[in-house]
Structure 1
Amino acid sequence: MFPHPVEAVVFDMDGTLLDTERLYVDAWIDAGRAVGVDIGREFCLAMIGRPMQDCEALMLERFGPDVPLDALVDACGAFVGGASRAGVPLKPGARELVEYLTAMNIPLAVATSSRRPTAEHHLGRSGLLAHFSALVTRDDVARGKPHPESYLLAARALGAPPQRCLAIEDSPTGLRSAVAAGAMTILAPDLIAPSPEERGLCLAVVDGLGEALALLRAHERGRRLAVAAAPG
């Protein structure tokens, strides 16, 4: 199913490796209540996968120039910080998939819309940080997802052409970023179901990272059988 050899793998973080998207949605809603802004769940879903400057622009567009943006962002950060201080849960199958790829000597990176301190904290507390050779955050790019810059930087850091990188994403925004970079992409949806068009952009839509691991194992078995059957 992979059109090119998988030379490297780039993961999204929130909603893909870490079960944080629900935390962020709840934090935005609670922050809105705290400052008197009615932020609905559907609006929160529209912000998933986007860098903060894009989220701020969406809020200004939705709620107008008088929205207490700084207070809203600060309140959200406080809610997230309190909820994640002891660490955040991994998505099911995340550790097994990362450890399998590490054992296969496939270089790994993370491309996230989170800030570097947040990414390092969450991945460090989860025990996954040491597996990644590169970490591309929103502090490292001029243009966040859905622009391809994050994935292009990650591929460059891993020394692999983007077309030979496998991206694993959970959101339509991240999917479009990876596809625009030229990466092969598997989508493991979290809170947002992909549209038919978005399904057509990826190699596969999987029901969790365990299914992604099964696909990669099957691909590796097929590759080894092909090598063994090749004439000497």
Structure 2
Amino acid sequence: MIKGAIFDLDGTLFDSMSIWSTIGNDYLLSLGIEPKENLAETFETFTLEESAEYYRSHYGVTLSISEIINGINDMLSDFYRNEVPLKKGVVELLEKFSQNQIKMCIATAMDKQLANEALLRLHVRDYFIQIVTTQDVGSGKTNPKIYLKALEYLKTEKQETLVFEDAYHALVTAKNEGFVVVGVHDGYESIQTEIQKISDYYITDYLTAFI
């Protein structure tokens, strides 16, 4: 029986991956530095701190880690505070889970304040016990710490807790740790076949999933 659910935000609840596909390059360009690669691919498994350190070590950015993160968040803030939409059917799913007394938590790599503000604007913040970020636990989603921290808030067992993710590496981490994993289709994640294989459940549309 499912008693808890842990949700990623970008590409999972938020229809937001379009901005993440360019933000890495856009940040460098804002500093007058020409990117040498597609940074969205490079940063796919990185935390914001790891991305900031990469700018320093590979592109010679002399700003501090915190200054780089603040700069990136400044570029993202307007989108999250005013524009980012939920994926279709998210509200219906959250309401269904709430009615069935399934406790819910957020596990995200994005800035906690921006996440909170976006969830409040979209009128879904109250569904979640807590927002846990990779900054909180000091590691990205190749490490299960973020899911285990979320589990502490939910007070459920791994085998009765769903983890919703759109990224393959995150699904692998949660699956290997013993969670029940739900792969969420997003057009910006190319390896859908692998995601379907690793997932206990795979959804392309919240309107028909678990409702």
**TM-score of the aligned structures, taking structure 2 as reference length:** 0.85
In the alignment, structure 1 segments of 5+ residues that lack a partner are 218-232
Of 47-56 and 159-168, more deviation after overlay is shown by 47-56
Q: Following TM superposition, by how much is the alpha carbon of 1:6 offset from its aligned partner in structure 2, in angstroms?
A: 1.2
Matched, 1:184 2:180: yes
- Asked whether 1:160 is paired with 2:159, we answer no
1:116 deviates by 1.9
Cα deviation, 1:3-26, whole Å, max 9, x if unaligned, reads xx2111111111111122212333
Q: Find the aligned partners of 2:45 and 2:100 in 1 and give their Cα distance.
A: 29
Identity %: 23
Q: Which has the higher helix share?
A: 1
Give the whole-Å Cα distance in 2 for the aligned partners of 1:137 and 1:117: 10
Q: What is the distance in 2 between the residues matched to 1:188 and 1:155?
A: 20
1:27 is matched by which residue type in structure 2?
Answer: I
| Alignment deviations for residues 8-51 of structure 1 (CA, whole Å, 9 cap, x no partner) | 11111111111222123333332222212334784214424632
* d(CA) in 1 for partners of 2:157, 2:15: 29
**Runs of 4+ in structure 1 over 6 Å off:** none
Q: Deviations over 1:53-77 (max 9, x none)?
A: 222344456x34x135557645432
Amino acid at match of 2:172: R
Unmatched 5+ stretches in structure 2: none
| Farther off after superposition, 22-31 or 10-19 | 22-31
Partner residue, 1:44: 40
Residue from 188, 203, 220 that aligns with 2:200: 203
Contact 1:21 1:48 in 2 (8 A): no
TM-score, normalising length from structure 1? 0.78
* Cα pair 1:111 1:151 within 8 Å, conserved: yes
